[in-house]
Structure 1
Amino acid sequence: MSKTKLFVGLRRENGQIGYLSESLAIPEFFELVRPKSEIRYDLVDFSPVIEALHSKHDKIAEQSIREKYSSVFNYWQESKTYSKIEIKLPKFESLSQLSNELITSLQFRIDETKEKYSYRRTANPEENITTIKNIENDCNVYIDVLLCFIHAKASLEIESFKKDVVLGRYCDYLDKVITDLYNRVVGFSTLQDRFELDDSSLIYYIAFNENEELNHYTKILPHFDTSQDLRLKRMIASRSESSYNHQNESITRIEVEYRSPHYQELEAAKILRNLLHKTKSISKLITRLREGNVDWNPSEDGVEELKQLLSE
Protein backbone atom coordinates (compact mmCIF):
# COMPACT_ATOMS: atom_id res chain seq x y z
CA MET A 1 0.00 0.00 0.00
CA SER A 2 1.37 3.40 -0.94
CA LYS A 3 1.66 5.82 1.95
CA THR A 4 0.46 9.37 1.45
CA LYS A 5 0.53 11.99 4.16
CA LEU A 6 -2.22 14.54 4.51
CA PHE A 7 -1.80 17.97 6.03
CA VAL A 8 -4.40 20.68 6.47
CA GLY A 9 -3.98 23.36 3.83
CA LEU A 10 -0.99 21.68 2.17
CA ARG A 11 -0.79 19.77 -1.09
CA ARG A 12 0.00 16.10 -1.18
CA GLU A 13 2.40 14.64 -3.74
CA ASN A 14 -0.54 13.83 -6.03
CA GLY A 15 -1.84 17.39 -5.76
CA GLN A 16 -4.83 16.62 -3.55
CA ILE A 17 -5.69 18.51 -0.40
CA GLY A 18 -5.10 17.03 3.03
CA TYR A 19 -8.06 17.62 5.29
CA LEU A 20 -7.72 15.84 8.60
CA SER A 21 -5.06 17.36 10.80
CA GLU A 22 -1.39 18.07 10.95
CA SER A 23 0.61 14.85 11.28
CA LEU A 24 -2.48 12.69 10.73
CA ALA A 25 -2.07 10.66 7.56
CA ILE A 26 -4.62 8.38 5.88
CA PRO A 27 -5.72 7.67 2.30
CA GLU A 28 -8.65 9.49 0.75
CA PHE A 29 -11.87 7.82 1.88
CA PHE A 30 -12.61 6.44 -1.57
CA GLU A 31 -9.09 4.93 -1.68
CA LEU A 32 -10.22 2.56 1.07
CA VAL A 33 -11.86 0.58 -1.76
CA ARG A 34 -9.00 -1.34 -3.36
CA PRO A 35 -8.77 -3.70 -6.35
CA LYS A 36 -9.10 -7.38 -5.47
CA SER A 37 -9.22 -8.67 -9.03
CA GLU A 38 -10.19 -7.31 -12.43
CA ILE A 39 -13.86 -7.21 -11.46
CA ARG A 40 -13.96 -7.28 -7.65
CA TYR A 41 -12.84 -4.81 -5.00
CA ASP A 42 -12.31 -4.85 -1.24
CA LEU A 43 -13.38 -2.24 1.30
CA VAL A 44 -10.72 -2.23 4.00
CA ASP A 45 -11.90 -2.26 7.61
CA PHE A 46 -11.30 1.42 8.34
CA SER A 47 -11.97 1.32 12.10
CA PRO A 48 -8.65 3.09 12.85
CA VAL A 49 -9.73 6.06 10.72
CA ILE A 50 -12.97 6.50 12.64
CA GLU A 51 -11.14 6.17 15.96
CA ALA A 52 -8.53 8.76 14.96
CA LEU A 53 -11.18 11.23 13.79
CA HIS A 54 -13.22 10.76 16.96
CA SER A 55 -10.15 11.43 19.07
CA LYS A 56 -9.64 14.72 17.22
CA HIS A 57 -13.22 15.98 16.91
CA ASP A 58 -14.62 14.87 20.26
CA LYS A 59 -12.43 17.48 21.93
CA ILE A 60 -13.88 20.41 19.98
CA ALA A 61 -17.54 19.43 19.67
CA GLU A 62 -20.09 21.42 21.64
CA GLN A 63 -21.15 19.68 24.86
CA SER A 64 -24.69 18.80 23.73
CA ILE A 65 -23.34 17.33 20.48
CA ARG A 66 -20.40 15.64 22.18
CA GLU A 67 -22.73 13.58 24.37
CA LYS A 68 -24.70 12.28 21.36
CA TYR A 69 -21.53 11.83 19.32
CA SER A 70 -19.94 9.78 22.11
CA SER A 71 -23.06 7.63 22.31
CA VAL A 72 -22.88 6.86 18.58
CA PHE A 73 -19.13 6.21 18.73
CA ASN A 74 -19.33 4.00 21.83
CA TYR A 75 -22.23 2.02 20.41
CA TRP A 76 -20.36 1.59 17.12
CA GLN A 77 -17.25 0.37 18.96
CA GLU A 78 -19.27 -2.10 21.03
CA SER A 79 -21.38 -3.38 18.14
CA LYS A 80 -18.38 -4.18 15.90
CA THR A 81 -17.09 -6.69 18.45
CA TYR A 82 -19.86 -9.15 17.50
CA SER A 83 -19.62 -11.61 14.64
CA LYS A 84 -22.95 -13.42 14.72
CA ILE A 85 -25.48 -11.90 12.31
CA GLU A 86 -28.38 -12.42 14.71
CA ILE A 87 -26.58 -10.21 17.24
CA LYS A 88 -25.15 -7.71 14.76
CA LEU A 89 -28.51 -6.94 13.11
CA PRO A 90 -30.30 -5.48 16.17
CA LYS A 91 -27.08 -3.68 17.12
CA PHE A 92 -26.96 -2.09 13.66
CA GLU A 93 -30.62 -1.07 13.92
CA SER A 94 -29.90 0.75 17.17
CA LEU A 95 -26.76 2.35 15.76
CA SER A 96 -28.73 3.40 12.69
CA GLN A 97 -31.34 5.08 14.87
CA LEU A 98 -28.74 6.93 16.95
CA SER A 99 -26.87 8.04 13.82
CA ASN A 100 -30.01 9.27 12.06
CA GLU A 101 -31.10 11.23 15.12
CA LEU A 102 -27.70 12.93 15.50
CA ILE A 103 -27.40 13.71 11.78
CA THR A 104 -30.88 15.23 11.78
CA SER A 105 -29.98 17.36 14.81
CA LEU A 106 -26.76 18.47 13.12
CA GLN A 107 -28.63 19.46 9.97
CA PHE A 108 -30.87 21.78 12.00
CA ARG A 109 -27.81 23.24 13.77
CA ILE A 110 -25.89 23.75 10.54
CA ASP A 111 -28.87 25.40 8.82
CA GLU A 112 -29.41 27.68 11.81
CA THR A 113 -25.74 28.62 12.08
CA LYS A 114 -25.46 29.22 8.35
CA GLU A 115 -28.03 32.02 8.58
CA LYS A 116 -25.59 33.97 10.74
CA TYR A 117 -23.07 34.32 7.92
CA SER A 118 -23.29 37.76 6.32
CA TYR A 119 -21.86 39.41 3.24
CA ARG A 120 -18.32 40.63 3.93
CA ARG A 121 -19.16 44.31 3.38
CA THR A 122 -21.90 44.28 6.01
CA ALA A 123 -20.41 41.89 8.56
CA ASN A 124 -17.69 41.81 11.16
CA PRO A 125 -14.97 39.38 9.95
CA GLU A 126 -14.68 38.01 13.48
CA GLU A 127 -18.36 37.12 13.58
CA ASN A 128 -18.22 35.46 10.17
CA ILE A 129 -15.18 33.31 10.97
CA THR A 130 -16.81 32.24 14.24
CA THR A 131 -19.85 31.14 12.24
CA ILE A 132 -17.69 29.20 9.76
CA LYS A 133 -15.71 27.49 12.54
CA ASN A 134 -18.91 26.44 14.30
CA ILE A 135 -20.16 24.95 11.03
CA GLU A 136 -16.80 23.23 10.55
CA ASN A 137 -17.07 21.53 13.95
CA ASP A 138 -20.60 20.30 13.27
CA CYS A 139 -19.70 19.14 9.75
CA ASN A 140 -16.73 17.14 11.02
CA VAL A 141 -18.92 15.32 13.55
CA TYR A 142 -21.54 14.83 10.82
CA ILE A 143 -18.97 13.14 8.55
CA ASP A 144 -17.59 11.02 11.39
CA VAL A 145 -21.09 9.72 12.14
CA LEU A 146 -21.58 8.96 8.44
CA LEU A 147 -18.39 6.91 8.54
CA CYS A 148 -19.66 4.94 11.56
CA PHE A 149 -22.89 4.31 9.65
CA ILE A 150 -21.03 3.22 6.50
CA HIS A 151 -18.69 0.95 8.46
CA ALA A 152 -21.53 -0.79 10.31
CA LYS A 153 -23.61 -1.18 7.16
CA ALA A 154 -20.68 -2.54 5.16
CA SER A 155 -19.68 -5.05 7.83
CA LEU A 156 -23.27 -6.30 8.06
CA GLU A 157 -24.23 -6.46 4.36
CA ILE A 158 -22.11 -4.50 1.92
CA GLU A 159 -24.40 -5.37 -1.00
CA SER A 160 -27.13 -3.26 0.65
CA PHE A 161 -25.37 -0.11 -0.60
CA LYS A 162 -26.74 -0.85 -4.07
CA LYS A 163 -30.16 0.29 -2.83
CA ASP A 164 -28.91 3.06 -0.56
CA VAL A 165 -30.87 6.29 -0.52
CA VAL A 166 -30.36 7.68 2.98
CA LEU A 167 -26.55 7.94 3.11
CA GLY A 168 -26.40 9.47 -0.35
CA ARG A 169 -29.01 12.03 0.64
CA TYR A 170 -27.12 12.90 3.81
CA CYS A 171 -23.98 13.48 1.77
CA ASP A 172 -25.83 15.56 -0.82
CA TYR A 173 -27.16 17.80 1.94
CA LEU A 174 -23.67 18.50 3.26
CA ASP A 175 -22.27 19.15 -0.21
CA LYS A 176 -25.05 21.62 -0.98
CA VAL A 177 -24.68 23.55 2.28
CA ILE A 178 -20.90 23.85 2.13
CA THR A 179 -20.88 24.64 -1.59
CA ASP A 180 -23.35 27.47 -1.09
CA LEU A 181 -21.29 28.96 1.74
CA TYR A 182 -18.04 28.52 -0.18
CA ASN A 183 -19.42 30.29 -3.25
CA ARG A 184 -20.57 33.18 -1.05
CA VAL A 185 -17.19 33.47 0.66
CA VAL A 186 -15.23 33.54 -2.62
CA GLY A 187 -17.87 35.63 -4.42
CA PHE A 188 -18.78 33.16 -7.16
CA SER A 189 -22.11 33.37 -8.98
CA THR A 190 -23.47 29.92 -9.91
CA LEU A 191 -26.10 31.54 -12.14
CA GLN A 192 -23.48 33.17 -14.36
CA ASP A 193 -20.57 30.80 -13.70
CA ARG A 194 -18.25 33.65 -12.89
CA PHE A 195 -17.08 35.82 -10.03
CA GLU A 196 -19.68 38.43 -9.14
CA LEU A 197 -17.22 41.32 -9.08
CA ASP A 198 -14.07 40.35 -10.93
CA ASP A 199 -11.61 42.40 -8.93
CA SER A 200 -13.11 41.78 -5.47
CA SER A 201 -13.06 37.98 -5.22
CA LEU A 202 -10.39 36.68 -2.87
CA ILE A 203 -9.62 34.05 -5.52
CA TYR A 204 -7.67 36.72 -7.43
CA TYR A 205 -5.58 37.42 -4.35
CA ILE A 206 -4.81 33.69 -4.14
CA ALA A 207 -3.98 33.60 -7.87
CA PHE A 208 -1.33 36.29 -7.48
CA ASN A 209 -0.01 35.34 -4.03
CA GLU A 210 -0.56 31.58 -3.63
CA ASN A 211 -0.92 30.43 -7.23
CA GLU A 212 0.32 26.92 -6.44
CA GLU A 213 -2.81 26.50 -4.30
CA LEU A 214 -5.23 28.06 -6.78
CA ASN A 215 -6.44 24.86 -8.43
CA HIS A 216 -7.59 23.49 -5.07
CA TYR A 217 -9.92 26.47 -4.75
CA THR A 218 -11.20 26.66 -8.33
CA LYS A 219 -11.75 22.98 -9.14
CA ILE A 220 -14.57 22.77 -6.59
CA LEU A 221 -16.41 25.72 -8.15
CA PRO A 222 -19.38 24.44 -10.20
CA HIS A 223 -18.94 24.63 -14.00
CA PHE A 224 -15.75 26.65 -13.64
CA ASP A 225 -13.14 26.52 -16.39
CA THR A 226 -10.02 25.65 -14.39
CA SER A 227 -7.83 25.95 -17.49
CA GLN A 228 -8.16 29.72 -17.60
CA ASP A 229 -5.32 31.82 -16.21
CA LEU A 230 -6.90 34.21 -13.72
CA ARG A 231 -3.77 36.33 -13.53
CA LEU A 232 -3.82 36.84 -17.29
CA LYS A 233 -7.54 37.60 -17.11
CA ARG A 234 -6.91 40.39 -14.60
CA MET A 235 -4.05 41.74 -16.69
CA ILE A 236 -6.21 41.90 -19.81
CA ALA A 237 -8.90 43.76 -17.85
CA SER A 238 -6.39 46.16 -16.27
CA ARG A 239 -5.46 49.69 -17.23
CA SER A 240 -2.41 50.36 -19.37
CA GLU A 241 -0.30 53.49 -19.44
CA SER A 242 2.26 54.51 -22.01
CA SER A 243 5.44 56.38 -21.12
CA TYR A 244 9.14 56.57 -21.96
CA ASN A 245 12.10 54.95 -20.24
CA HIS A 246 15.54 56.42 -19.62
CA GLN A 247 16.59 55.57 -23.18
CA ASN A 248 13.60 57.54 -24.46
CA GLU A 249 11.97 54.32 -25.68
CA SER A 250 8.20 53.99 -25.59
CA ILE A 251 7.02 51.49 -22.97
CA THR A 252 3.63 50.38 -21.67
CA ARG A 253 2.90 49.70 -18.02
CA ILE A 254 -0.05 47.59 -16.88
CA GLU A 255 -1.57 48.28 -13.51
CA VAL A 256 -3.22 45.17 -12.05
CA GLU A 257 -5.78 45.61 -9.30
CA TYR A 258 -7.24 43.00 -6.98
CA ARG A 259 -8.64 43.21 -3.48
CA SER A 260 -6.54 42.15 -0.50
CA PRO A 261 -9.05 40.26 1.65
CA HIS A 262 -9.12 40.20 5.43
CA TYR A 263 -7.05 37.30 6.73
CA GLN A 264 -10.18 35.80 8.31
CA GLU A 265 -11.88 35.72 4.89
CA LEU A 266 -8.97 33.64 3.63
CA GLU A 267 -9.24 31.40 6.68
CA ALA A 268 -12.96 30.89 6.05
CA ALA A 269 -12.32 30.01 2.40
CA LYS A 270 -9.66 27.47 3.38
CA ILE A 271 -11.91 25.85 6.00
CA LEU A 272 -14.79 25.49 3.54
CA ARG A 273 -12.45 24.33 0.77
CA ASN A 274 -11.12 21.53 2.99
CA LEU A 275 -14.63 20.56 4.08
CA LEU A 276 -15.74 20.35 0.45
CA HIS A 277 -12.83 18.11 -0.50
CA LYS A 278 -13.62 15.92 2.49
CA THR A 279 -17.34 15.77 1.66
CA LYS A 280 -16.71 14.96 -1.99
CA SER A 281 -14.29 12.22 -0.95
CA ILE A 282 -16.85 10.45 1.23
CA SER A 283 -19.48 10.96 -1.49
CA LYS A 284 -17.18 9.15 -3.93
CA LEU A 285 -16.85 6.32 -1.42
CA ILE A 286 -20.63 5.95 -1.18
CA THR A 287 -20.96 6.08 -4.98
CA ARG A 288 -18.30 3.39 -5.32
CA LEU A 289 -20.14 1.14 -2.87
CA ARG A 290 -23.43 1.73 -4.72
CA GLU A 291 -21.85 0.47 -7.93
CA GLY A 292 -21.33 -2.93 -6.30
CA ASN A 293 -18.67 -5.61 -6.83
CA VAL A 294 -17.17 -4.61 -3.49
CA ASP A 295 -16.49 -7.08 -0.66
CA TRP A 296 -16.05 -6.26 3.00
CA ASN A 297 -12.50 -7.12 4.09
CA PRO A 298 -12.12 -7.25 7.89
CA SER A 299 -8.59 -8.70 7.76
CA GLU A 300 -6.21 -7.63 10.49
CA ASP A 301 -3.54 -6.87 7.89
CA GLY A 302 -5.56 -3.96 6.48
CA VAL A 303 -6.35 -2.66 9.95
CA GLU A 304 -2.71 -2.79 10.98
CA GLU A 305 -1.63 -0.99 7.82
CA LEU A 306 -4.03 1.85 8.58
CA LYS A 307 -2.89 2.00 12.20
CA GLN A 308 0.70 2.25 11.08
CA LEU A 309 -0.14 4.96 8.56
CA LEU A 310 -2.05 6.96 11.16
CA SER A 311 0.81 6.80 13.63
CA GLU A 312 3.37 8.31 11.25
Structure 2
Amino acid sequence: MSSARALAEGYALAEGYPDLSGLPVARRLHWGRWLAAGGILAGLAAIGRAFAEGQIEWAYVGRFLTVPVILHGIVNTMVMAVLAMGLGIVLGVVVAVMRLSPNPVLRAVASGYTWLFRGTPLILQLLLWFNLALVFPVIGIPGLWSARAVDVMTPFLAALLGLGINQGAYTSEVMRAGMLSVDAGQFEAAQAIGMGRLRSLRRIILPQAMRVVLPPLGNEFIGMVKATSLASVIQYPEVLHAAENIYYANSRVIELLIVAGLWYLLVVSILTPLQMLLERRFARGSAGAGR
Protein backbone atom coordinates (compact mmCIF):
# COMPACT_ATOMS: atom_id res chain seq x y z
CA MET A 1 0.00 0.00 0.00
CA SER A 2 2.84 2.42 0.88
CA SER A 3 4.70 1.73 -2.38
CA ALA A 4 1.56 2.43 -4.42
CA ARG A 5 1.01 5.65 -2.52
CA ALA A 6 4.62 6.74 -3.06
CA LEU A 7 4.30 5.97 -6.75
CA ALA A 8 1.14 8.09 -6.98
CA GLU A 9 2.85 10.98 -5.17
CA GLY A 10 5.85 10.79 -7.46
CA TYR A 11 3.62 10.80 -10.54
CA ALA A 12 1.69 13.84 -9.25
CA LEU A 13 4.90 15.79 -8.59
CA ALA A 14 6.29 14.81 -11.97
CA GLU A 15 3.21 16.14 -13.74
CA GLY A 16 3.33 19.40 -11.82
CA TYR A 17 0.29 18.76 -9.64
CA PRO A 18 0.42 19.78 -5.94
CA ASP A 19 0.98 17.09 -3.34
CA LEU A 20 -2.33 16.58 -1.51
CA SER A 21 -1.34 13.45 0.40
CA GLY A 22 -0.96 15.27 3.68
CA LEU A 23 -4.40 16.85 3.72
CA PRO A 24 -7.02 15.32 6.05
CA VAL A 25 -9.83 13.31 4.51
CA ALA A 26 -13.21 14.93 5.13
CA ARG A 27 -16.01 12.46 5.75
CA ARG A 28 -19.32 13.14 4.10
CA LEU A 29 -22.21 13.70 6.48
CA HIS A 30 -25.34 11.89 5.33
CA TRP A 31 -27.92 14.21 6.82
CA GLY A 32 -30.78 12.56 4.92
CA ARG A 33 -30.04 9.20 6.50
CA TRP A 34 -29.93 10.62 10.01
CA LEU A 35 -33.16 12.55 9.52
CA ALA A 36 -34.92 9.50 8.07
CA ALA A 37 -33.70 7.28 10.92
CA GLY A 38 -34.79 9.85 13.50
CA GLY A 39 -38.23 10.15 11.91
CA ILE A 40 -38.70 6.40 11.86
CA LEU A 41 -37.64 6.03 15.49
CA ALA A 42 -39.94 8.87 16.52
CA GLY A 43 -42.86 7.25 14.70
CA LEU A 44 -42.18 3.85 16.28
CA ALA A 45 -41.92 5.45 19.70
CA ALA A 46 -45.26 7.23 19.21
CA ILE A 47 -46.95 4.00 18.14
CA GLY A 48 -45.45 2.10 21.06
CA ARG A 49 -46.57 4.79 23.48
CA ALA A 50 -50.10 4.72 22.06
CA PHE A 51 -50.35 0.96 22.59
CA ALA A 52 -48.77 1.16 26.04
CA GLU A 53 -50.91 4.04 27.34
CA GLY A 54 -54.08 3.32 25.35
CA GLN A 55 -57.18 1.58 26.65
CA ILE A 56 -55.79 -1.89 26.01
CA GLU A 57 -56.01 -4.49 28.75
CA TRP A 58 -52.89 -6.53 28.06
CA ALA A 59 -53.92 -9.01 30.72
CA TYR A 60 -56.77 -10.07 28.40
CA VAL A 61 -54.26 -10.69 25.61
CA GLY A 62 -52.31 -13.11 27.77
CA ARG A 63 -55.47 -14.67 29.12
CA PHE A 64 -57.08 -15.44 25.75
CA LEU A 65 -53.88 -16.31 23.89
CA THR A 66 -54.14 -20.01 24.78
CA VAL A 67 -57.83 -20.56 25.43
CA PRO A 68 -59.15 -23.76 23.79
CA VAL A 69 -61.33 -21.99 21.23
CA ILE A 70 -58.37 -19.95 19.95
CA LEU A 71 -56.11 -23.03 19.81
CA HIS A 72 -58.83 -24.92 17.95
CA GLY A 73 -59.08 -21.99 15.56
CA ILE A 74 -55.37 -22.00 14.76
CA VAL A 75 -55.52 -25.76 14.11
CA ASN A 76 -58.42 -25.19 11.71
CA THR A 77 -56.45 -22.40 10.06
CA MET A 78 -53.45 -24.63 9.39
CA VAL A 79 -55.60 -27.57 8.22
CA MET A 80 -57.42 -25.34 5.76
CA ALA A 81 -54.19 -23.70 4.56
CA VAL A 82 -52.51 -27.06 3.88
CA LEU A 83 -55.53 -28.61 2.14
CA ALA A 84 -56.35 -25.53 0.07
CA MET A 85 -52.70 -25.09 -0.95
CA GLY A 86 -52.52 -28.77 -1.92
CA LEU A 87 -55.62 -28.38 -4.07
CA GLY A 88 -54.18 -25.20 -5.57
CA ILE A 89 -50.89 -26.89 -6.47
CA VAL A 90 -52.65 -29.83 -8.14
CA LEU A 91 -54.88 -27.51 -10.14
CA GLY A 92 -51.94 -25.23 -10.90
CA VAL A 93 -49.85 -28.03 -12.38
CA VAL A 94 -52.78 -29.31 -14.49
CA VAL A 95 -53.67 -25.83 -15.77
CA ALA A 96 -50.01 -24.99 -16.48
CA VAL A 97 -49.66 -28.16 -18.56
CA MET A 98 -52.88 -27.23 -20.39
CA ARG A 99 -51.55 -23.72 -21.06
CA LEU A 100 -48.43 -25.20 -22.67
CA SER A 101 -50.36 -27.82 -24.64
CA PRO A 102 -50.46 -27.61 -28.46
CA ASN A 103 -54.22 -28.26 -28.21
CA PRO A 104 -55.99 -24.87 -28.67
CA VAL A 105 -59.09 -26.05 -26.77
CA LEU A 106 -57.05 -26.94 -23.68
CA ARG A 107 -55.19 -23.64 -23.88
CA ALA A 108 -58.45 -21.70 -24.12
CA VAL A 109 -60.01 -23.52 -21.15
CA ALA A 110 -56.90 -22.97 -19.03
CA SER A 111 -56.73 -19.29 -19.97
CA GLY A 112 -60.41 -18.83 -19.16
CA TYR A 113 -60.00 -20.47 -15.75
CA THR A 114 -57.05 -18.25 -14.91
CA TRP A 115 -58.86 -15.13 -16.14
CA LEU A 116 -62.02 -15.86 -14.15
CA PHE A 117 -60.55 -16.75 -10.77
CA ARG A 118 -57.80 -14.14 -10.81
CA GLY A 119 -60.21 -11.46 -11.97
CA THR A 120 -62.78 -11.75 -9.16
CA PRO A 121 -62.20 -11.07 -5.44
CA LEU A 122 -61.51 -14.07 -3.25
CA ILE A 123 -64.15 -13.06 -0.70
CA LEU A 124 -66.74 -12.95 -3.51
CA GLN A 125 -65.79 -16.48 -4.57
CA LEU A 126 -66.15 -17.72 -0.99
CA LEU A 127 -69.61 -16.22 -0.70
CA LEU A 128 -70.66 -17.73 -4.05
CA TRP A 129 -69.53 -21.21 -3.03
CA PHE A 130 -71.24 -20.91 0.35
CA ASN A 131 -74.51 -19.82 -1.28
CA LEU A 132 -74.33 -22.31 -4.14
CA ALA A 133 -77.70 -23.77 -3.07
CA LEU A 134 -79.41 -20.63 -4.38
CA VAL A 135 -78.29 -21.61 -7.89
CA PHE A 136 -78.19 -25.41 -7.64
CA PRO A 137 -80.64 -26.58 -4.95
CA VAL A 138 -79.71 -30.21 -5.63
CA ILE A 139 -76.27 -31.42 -6.70
CA GLY A 140 -75.02 -34.88 -7.58
CA ILE A 141 -74.74 -37.40 -10.41
CA PRO A 142 -78.06 -38.10 -12.13
CA GLY A 143 -79.24 -41.63 -11.43
CA LEU A 144 -76.41 -42.39 -9.00
CA TRP A 145 -76.28 -39.84 -6.20
CA SER A 146 -77.91 -36.56 -5.29
CA ALA A 147 -78.17 -34.36 -2.22
CA ARG A 148 -79.32 -30.93 -1.18
CA ALA A 149 -76.60 -28.37 -1.83
CA VAL A 150 -77.34 -26.64 1.46
CA ASP A 151 -76.37 -29.84 3.28
CA VAL A 152 -73.27 -30.53 1.19
CA MET A 153 -71.82 -27.02 0.98
CA THR A 154 -70.67 -26.67 4.59
CA PRO A 155 -68.40 -23.79 5.65
CA PHE A 156 -65.43 -26.18 5.52
CA LEU A 157 -66.12 -27.34 1.97
CA ALA A 158 -67.01 -23.86 0.73
CA ALA A 159 -63.76 -22.48 2.19
CA LEU A 160 -61.72 -25.34 0.73
CA LEU A 161 -63.16 -24.91 -2.77
CA GLY A 162 -63.02 -21.12 -2.67
CA LEU A 163 -59.45 -20.89 -1.40
CA GLY A 164 -58.08 -23.89 -3.33
CA ILE A 165 -59.57 -23.10 -6.73
CA ASN A 166 -58.59 -19.45 -6.44
CA GLN A 167 -55.06 -20.45 -5.46
CA GLY A 168 -54.87 -22.80 -8.46
CA ALA A 169 -55.23 -19.84 -10.83
CA TYR A 170 -52.20 -18.11 -9.33
CA THR A 171 -50.17 -21.29 -8.90
CA SER A 172 -50.71 -22.19 -12.57
CA GLU A 173 -48.81 -19.07 -13.62
CA VAL A 174 -45.99 -19.87 -11.18
CA MET A 175 -45.75 -23.44 -12.49
CA ARG A 176 -45.89 -22.30 -16.11
CA ALA A 177 -43.03 -19.87 -15.51
CA GLY A 178 -41.01 -22.66 -13.89
CA MET A 179 -41.60 -25.02 -16.80
CA LEU A 180 -40.64 -22.35 -19.32
CA SER A 181 -37.39 -21.74 -17.41
CA VAL A 182 -36.21 -25.27 -18.22
CA ASP A 183 -34.18 -25.39 -21.42
CA ALA A 184 -36.18 -26.70 -24.39
CA GLY A 185 -33.34 -29.09 -25.15
CA GLN A 186 -34.23 -31.07 -22.03
CA PHE A 187 -37.67 -31.89 -23.43
CA GLU A 188 -36.23 -32.67 -26.85
CA ALA A 189 -33.67 -35.01 -25.29
CA ALA A 190 -36.43 -36.79 -23.36
CA GLN A 191 -38.39 -37.30 -26.57
CA ALA A 192 -35.28 -38.55 -28.31
CA ILE A 193 -34.92 -41.44 -25.85
CA GLY A 194 -38.57 -42.40 -26.23
CA MET A 195 -40.24 -40.58 -23.31
CA GLY A 196 -43.82 -39.42 -23.78
CA ARG A 197 -44.94 -35.88 -23.02
CA LEU A 198 -46.42 -36.61 -19.60
CA ARG A 199 -43.54 -38.83 -18.51
CA SER A 200 -40.94 -36.26 -19.55
CA LEU A 201 -42.85 -33.60 -17.62
CA ARG A 202 -42.92 -35.79 -14.51
CA ARG A 203 -39.34 -37.07 -14.70
CA ILE A 204 -37.41 -34.24 -16.38
CA ILE A 205 -39.20 -30.89 -16.54
CA LEU A 206 -41.02 -30.62 -13.20
CA PRO A 207 -38.04 -31.65 -10.98
CA GLN A 208 -35.91 -28.94 -12.59
CA ALA A 209 -38.74 -26.40 -12.48
CA MET A 210 -39.10 -26.90 -8.71
CA ARG A 211 -35.92 -24.89 -8.13
CA VAL A 212 -37.61 -21.90 -9.74
CA VAL A 213 -41.15 -22.31 -8.43
CA LEU A 214 -40.39 -23.22 -4.82
CA PRO A 215 -39.63 -19.69 -3.51
CA PRO A 216 -42.86 -18.17 -4.91
CA LEU A 217 -44.85 -21.23 -3.82
CA GLY A 218 -43.52 -20.77 -0.29
CA ASN A 219 -44.66 -17.16 -0.34
CA GLU A 220 -48.04 -18.27 -1.71
CA PHE A 221 -48.46 -20.72 1.16
CA ILE A 222 -47.68 -18.04 3.73
CA GLY A 223 -50.23 -15.86 1.99
CA MET A 224 -52.71 -18.75 2.10
CA VAL A 225 -52.35 -18.99 5.89
CA LYS A 226 -53.43 -15.37 6.16
CA ALA A 227 -56.07 -15.69 3.43
CA THR A 228 -57.92 -18.27 5.52
CA SER A 229 -59.06 -15.35 7.68
CA LEU A 230 -61.46 -14.41 4.87
CA ALA A 231 -63.29 -17.69 5.52
CA SER A 232 -64.64 -16.11 8.71
CA VAL A 233 -67.31 -14.42 6.58
CA ILE A 234 -68.81 -17.86 5.82
CA GLN A 235 -68.56 -18.98 9.46
CA TYR A 236 -65.56 -21.29 9.08
CA PRO A 237 -64.13 -21.58 12.63
CA GLU A 238 -60.56 -20.43 12.00
CA VAL A 239 -58.58 -18.30 14.45
CA LEU A 240 -59.97 -14.90 13.43
CA HIS A 241 -63.54 -16.20 13.56
CA ALA A 242 -62.84 -17.57 17.06
CA ALA A 243 -61.47 -14.19 18.15
CA GLU A 244 -64.53 -12.45 16.73
CA ASN A 245 -66.90 -14.72 18.64
CA ILE A 246 -65.08 -13.92 21.88
CA TYR A 247 -65.02 -10.15 21.46
CA TYR A 248 -68.69 -10.13 20.47
CA ALA A 249 -69.31 -11.47 23.99
CA ASN A 250 -66.87 -9.39 26.06
CA SER A 251 -66.35 -6.30 23.81
CA ARG A 252 -62.55 -6.62 24.06
CA VAL A 253 -62.10 -6.04 20.33
CA ILE A 254 -58.51 -4.79 20.17
CA GLU A 255 -57.26 -7.34 22.68
CA LEU A 256 -58.70 -10.28 20.72
CA LEU A 257 -57.46 -8.90 17.40
CA ILE A 258 -53.99 -8.67 18.91
CA VAL A 259 -54.30 -12.32 19.99
CA ALA A 260 -55.15 -13.36 16.41
CA GLY A 261 -52.33 -11.21 15.05
CA LEU A 262 -49.78 -12.77 17.40
CA TRP A 263 -50.78 -16.26 16.29
CA TYR A 264 -50.46 -15.33 12.63
CA LEU A 265 -47.01 -13.85 13.30
CA LEU A 266 -45.94 -16.99 15.15
CA VAL A 267 -47.05 -19.28 12.33
CA VAL A 268 -45.33 -17.17 9.66
CA SER A 269 -42.15 -16.99 11.79
CA ILE A 270 -42.07 -20.80 11.90
CA LEU A 271 -42.86 -21.30 8.22
CA THR A 272 -40.24 -18.85 6.91
CA PRO A 273 -37.10 -20.82 8.00
CA LEU A 274 -38.78 -24.07 6.90
CA GLN A 275 -39.27 -22.55 3.47
CA MET A 276 -35.59 -21.57 3.33
CA LEU A 277 -34.50 -25.11 4.26
CA LEU A 278 -36.72 -26.58 1.54
CA GLU A 279 -35.34 -24.13 -1.02
CA ARG A 280 -31.77 -25.11 -0.14
CA ARG A 281 -32.62 -28.79 -0.51
CA PHE A 282 -34.00 -28.34 -4.02
CA ALA A 283 -31.17 -25.95 -4.94
CA ARG A 284 -28.43 -28.52 -4.26
CA GLY A 285 -26.14 -28.81 -7.24
CA SER A 286 -27.13 -25.43 -8.71
CA ALA A 287 -25.02 -22.27 -8.81
CA GLY A 288 -27.08 -20.51 -6.09
CA ALA A 289 -27.23 -23.41 -3.67
CA GLY A 290 -25.30 -21.64 -0.96
CA ARG A 291 -27.28 -18.43 -1.02
TM above 0.5, yes or no, is: no
Q: Which has the higher contact order (CA 8 A, sep 6+)?
A: 1
Name whichever structure is richer in strand by fraction.
Answer: 1
Q: Whose helix proportion is higher, 1 or 2?
A: 2
Larger Rg: 2
TM-score by length of 1: 0.27
